[in-house]
Amino acid sequence: MTTTPYGHKVYAMAAEYPSAAALYEAAKRVRDAGFRRWDVFSPFPIHGMDEAMGLGKSWLSGWVLFGGISGFLTAVIVEFGPSSFLYPLVVHGKPTNFFTVPAFFPIMFELTILFSSFAAFFAWQGMNRLPRWNHPMFNWDRFSRVTNDGFFLAIEAHDPRFTENGVYELLEQTGGRHITVVHED
Amino acid sequence: MPEGEYFDSRRFTGLSTLLGVIAVVSLVLCLVGALVNPHQFSYSWLFAFVFFFTLCAGCFFWTIVHHATDADWSVVVRRQLENIAVLLGVLAILFIPILLLRDHLYSWMVIPPGRAPNLDLKRAYLNLHWFLIRAIIFFAFWIIASLLLRRYSSRQDKDGNPLFTIWMRRVSFISLPLFAMCLTFGAFDWMMSLNFRWFSTMFGVYIFAGTAGSSMALLVLVIAALQQAGYLKGIVTLEHYHIMGKWMLAFCIFWAYIGFGQYMLIWYANIPEETQFFLTRNTQSWWVLSMLLVIGRFFVPFAILLMRSIKKNPHQLSILAAWMIFMQMLDMYLIVLPALHGTGVHVSIWDLICLIAIGTTLGFVYLRVVAKTSLFPVRDPRLIESLTTVN
């Protein structure tokens, strides 16, 4: 099943759950069923959901480390470059060699933090494929409750294990209500 | 006895006796040292005293922060913080040698008025009576507050009355500003005034940063040791170690931030009155120890503690915690001893004997204290939240 009767491409099959606890339990079942491309939606963060979904470690930290190291190296270059090599200038009787490093630490620190936070922000956006104008889930009118009291689970049609009947049964068994097909734009 | 998990002191009679014997022998040796070589001994004793003092005061700090912020994760480890904090009462007794040997330590006590102009300007603060009154205030506050917190906490074990939580919170709110004042001025009195010509407004915060970080490391060690002995199984989980490791990381960074802030301002302004402190410690053979402190107290643990796997591994975290406590010892050594040996490192046997004397005394008392109550606050209203903490 890749298209709806109206000719839209299918994005996912989704269901609504009555509570955060029900969604949490459902997520564990879906994880154990071996699905890879799926997501849950709730009005607030649910503690332990990452584990229930089997998400594993986020590698955002790798990008942050990269950002931090590049910020640090940038500071080293823009400080020691001019002050020690291009235009050495004695200030306050301080040396122009390596031992003037205490004066440079604040800049190194700030640029490390700045580049780390930039890396965290932009890598997070990229990993979540943000920014975007719209999301297929908004094509389902019940989904508007997600910012209020709705708990949703959607298994994408891209998933290799996705079959219309199989997913429908799984969602039904886990207590999902209003099970429906969500189409792409 | 109320329910809970109890430390069986009969299992550790051997350890307790050993600590007691070593404590008595080394305290007698200390008495000899005070008579034979009072000048060196007084500095060695002060070094050992401030080292253990910062560890115990830090545990008091974490207790009041726990109550003031209404934290839930730390409930299961809080009893050990309370147990270590009451050791401040023992330290009040161990402070007496410093008072007796004060003339060796604090030159401002013996210099008559009119000799040192910049001391005369500070006489309103640096005078013996005011020094004694302050010491009494500091210790009275620490003893009363730490005993109150422990008493309320152990009474709650019996009846589970949630009012005790409210009372402990009240004690903690009053204690927060008082703790800050007492620690800051205690640091000024006992450590900074070793050289009355030198001053740093950041000194109190610097001591606090080391205090909080190293006492969190001590907590990791104590909890890990109790678990090794078969206690707190399933009570303290890897999640708690993770949080304690994060606090170690936070205060490792905070210590470096404050320490560097203090250093850089003095280094940059380059005023002789201020630079003398670092000049002593950055030259001669002290330079090696100063560099070891900078690298060993910040760069190495910072890089290691960034890794999550270390924080979730009690064994590896304990090794790092022991290292951090060793670095705190080095930090205190570098504050106290250069005031005596300005020309270079001069290790004395009394440094070691004083450390052993105070350390074993406190360890002996701790083994008595820890057996008195349950190893965790068994009826704390937030216990379930602490047991199931996930972070």
CB-based contacts of B284-288 (< 8 A; 24+ apart in sequence) = B284/B343, B284/B344, B284/B345, B285/B344, B285/B345, B286/B334, B286/B338, B286/B344, B286/B345, B288/B345
Inform me whether the C-beta atom of residue A62 falls under 8 Å from chain B C-beta atoms. no
When divided into structural domains, chain A yields a total of 2
CA B201, CA B181: separation in Å to the nearest integer?
13
CATH for A166:
3.30.70
Q: B146 to chain A, minimum CA–CA distance in Å?
A: 35
Question: Which residues in chain A (10-49) have CB-CB distances under 8 A to chain B?
Answer: 47-48
When divided into structural domains, chain B yields a total of 1
* Residue B316 phi, psi (nearest 5): -65, -40
Q: Do B391 and B33 touch, CB atoms closer than 8 A?
A: no
pLDDT-based confidence at residue B75 (cuts at 50, 70, 90): very high
**Where is the domain boundary, A103, A127, A151?**
A127
* Residue of B260, B263, B270 lying closest to A93 (CB–CB): B270
Q: What is the DSSP-derived secondary structure letter of residue A135?
A: -
Residue B388 included in any domain: no
Q: A148 to chain B, minimum CA–CA distance in Å?
A: 25
Residue A2 included in any domain: no
> What is the model's pLDDT at position B342?
85
Whether the CA torsion B161, B164, B165, B167 is positive or negative: it is positive
Q: A105 to chain B, minimum CA–CA distance in Å?
A: 9
DSSP E strand boundaries for B243-386: none
Helix (H, G, I), strand (E, B), or coil: what is residue A82? helix
> What is the model's pLDDT at position B26?
94
> What is the model's pLDDT at position A58?
86
Residues 6+ apart with CB under 8 A from B125: none
Residue A111 included in any domain: yes
**Where is the domain boundary, A80, A98, A127?**
A127
Structural tokens at position B16: 């307790």
Greatest C-alpha distance within chain B: 65
* Mean pLDDT, chain B, whole residue set: 92
Q: Which amino acid is at B339?
A: A
CA B339, CA B107: separation in Å to the nearest integer?
11
Residue A144 included in any domain: yes
Does position B168 have pLDDT exceeding 60, yes or no? yes
B chain contacts of residue A93, beta-carbon cutoff 8 Å: 270
Residue B79 included in any domain: yes
> What is the model's pLDDT at position A171?
93
Say if residue A32 is in the same domain as residue A82. Answer: no
CA A120, CA A126: separation in Å to the nearest integer?
10
Inform me whether the C-beta atom of residue A103 falls under 8 Å from chain B C-beta atoms. yes
pTM for this structure? 0.87
Say if residue A111 is in the same domain as residue A71. Answer: yes
Each residue's pLDDT tens digit, A2-12: 788 888 889 99
Residue B384 included in any domain: no
> What is the model's pLDDT at position B224?
95
Each residue's pLDDT tens digit, B198-213: 999 999 999 999 999 9
Q: Which amino acid is at A130?
A: L
Does position A65 have pLDDT exceeding 60, yes or no? yes
CB–CB contact B267 A47 (8 Å): no
> What is the model's pLDDT at position A6?
82
CB–CB contact B268 A106 (8 Å): no
Residue B56 included in any domain: yes
> What is the model's pLDDT at position B344?
86
CB–CB contact A102 B390 (8 Å): no
A chain contacts of residue B390, beta-carbon cutoff 8 Å: 47-48
DSSP E strand boundaries for A30-107: 38-41
**Where is the domain boundary, A105, A127, A149?**
A127
Number of helices (H) and strands (E), helices first, in chain B? Answer: 18, 0
Mean pLDDT for B172-179 is 95
CA B6, CA A180: separation in Å to the nearest integer?
56
CA A52, CA A50: separation in Å to the nearest integer?
5
The DSSP annotation for B158-207 comes to HH--THHHHHHHHHHHHHHHHHHHHHHHHHHHHTGGGSTT---TTHHHHH
Chain B residues contacting A, CB < 8 Å?
260, 263-264, 267-268, 270, 390
Residue B3 included in any domain: no
Sheet architecture: strand order including A38-41: A38-41, A151-156, A10-17, A177-183
Residues 6+ apart with CB under 8 A from B325: B55, B214, B217, B218, B221
Residues linked to residue B374 through DSSP beta bridges, in sequence order: B6
Does position B1 have pLDDT exceeding 70, yes or no? no
Does position B150 have pLDDT exceeding 80, yes or no? yes
pLDDT-based confidence at residue B160 (cuts at 50, 70, 90): confident
Residue B383 included in any domain: no
> What is the model's pLDDT at position B295?
95
pLDDT-based confidence at residue A53 (cuts at 50, 70, 90): very high
Each residue's pLDDT tens digit, A74-126: 999 999 999 899 999 888 888 888 888 888 999 999 999 999 999 999 999 99
Q: Do B316 and B310 touch, CB atoms closer than 8 A?
A: yes
Q: Do B352 and B337 touch, CB atoms closer than 8 A?
A: no
CB–CB contact B390 A93 (8 Å): no
Percentage of chain B lying above the pLDDT 90 cut: 78
Q: What is the H or E stretch that residue B293 is in?
A: helix B286-294
Inform me whether the C-beta atom of residue A106 falls under 8 Å from chain B C-beta atoms. yes
Q: A102 to chain B, minimum CA–CA distance in Å?
A: 6
> What is the model's pLDDT at position B179?
96
What pairing do the DSSP bridges indicate for beta strands A151-156 and A38-41? antiparallel
Mean pLDDT for A145-155 is 93
Say if residue A148 is in the same domain as residue A118. Answer: no
Say if residue A49 is in the same domain as residue A65. Answer: no
CA A47, CA B125: separation in Å to the nearest integer?
53
* Among A65, A72, A90, A92, the residue to mutate for chain B (most B Cβ within 10 A): A92
Residues 6+ apart with CB under 8 A from B250: B213
Structural tokens at position A54: 């089997």
Inform me whether the C-beta atom of residue A92 falls under 8 Å from chain B C-beta atoms. yes
Say if residue A51 is in the same domain as residue A66. Answer: no
> What is the model's pLDDT at position A1?
55
> What is the model's pLDDT at position B330?
95
> What is the model's pLDDT at position B27?
94
CB–CB contact B264 A106 (8 Å): yes
Q: Which residue has the tokens 């690298």?
A: B295
Does position B2 have pLDDT exceeding 90, yes or no? no
> Which residue, among B141, B150, B146, has the nearest Cα to B184 in the 3D structure?
B141
Mean pLDDT for B178-185 is 95
B chain contacts of residue A48, beta-carbon cutoff 8 Å: 390
CA B26, CA B197: separation in Å to the nearest integer?
34
The Cα-based distances of A35 to A27, A128, A161, B171, B282 in angstroms read: 10, 19, 6, 53, 61
CB–CB contact B263 A48 (8 Å): no
The boundaries of the domain holding residue B129 are: 9-374
Helix (H, G, I), strand (E, B), or coil: what is residue A91? coil
* Residue of A47, A48, A103 lying closest to B268 (CB–CB): A103
Mean pLDDT for B26-42 is 92
* Residue of B260, B263, B270 lying closest to A92 (CB–CB): B270
Q: Do A40 and A53 touch, CB atoms closer than 8 A?
A: yes
CA B280, CA B105: separation in Å to the nearest integer?
17
* Among B238, B254, B257, B264, the residue to mutate for chain A (most A Cβ within 10 A): B264
Residue B4 included in any domain: no
The boundaries of the domain holding residue A111 are: 60-127
A chain contacts of residue B264, beta-carbon cutoff 8 Å: 102-103, 105-106
CB–CB contact B264 A92 (8 Å): no
Closest-approach residue (CA) in chain A for B266: A102
Residue A40 included in any domain: yes
B chain contacts of residue A106, beta-carbon cutoff 8 Å: 264
Closest-approach residue (CA) in chain A for B271: A92
CB–CB contact A105 B268 (8 Å): no
A chain contacts of residue B268, beta-carbon cutoff 8 Å: 92, 94, 102-103
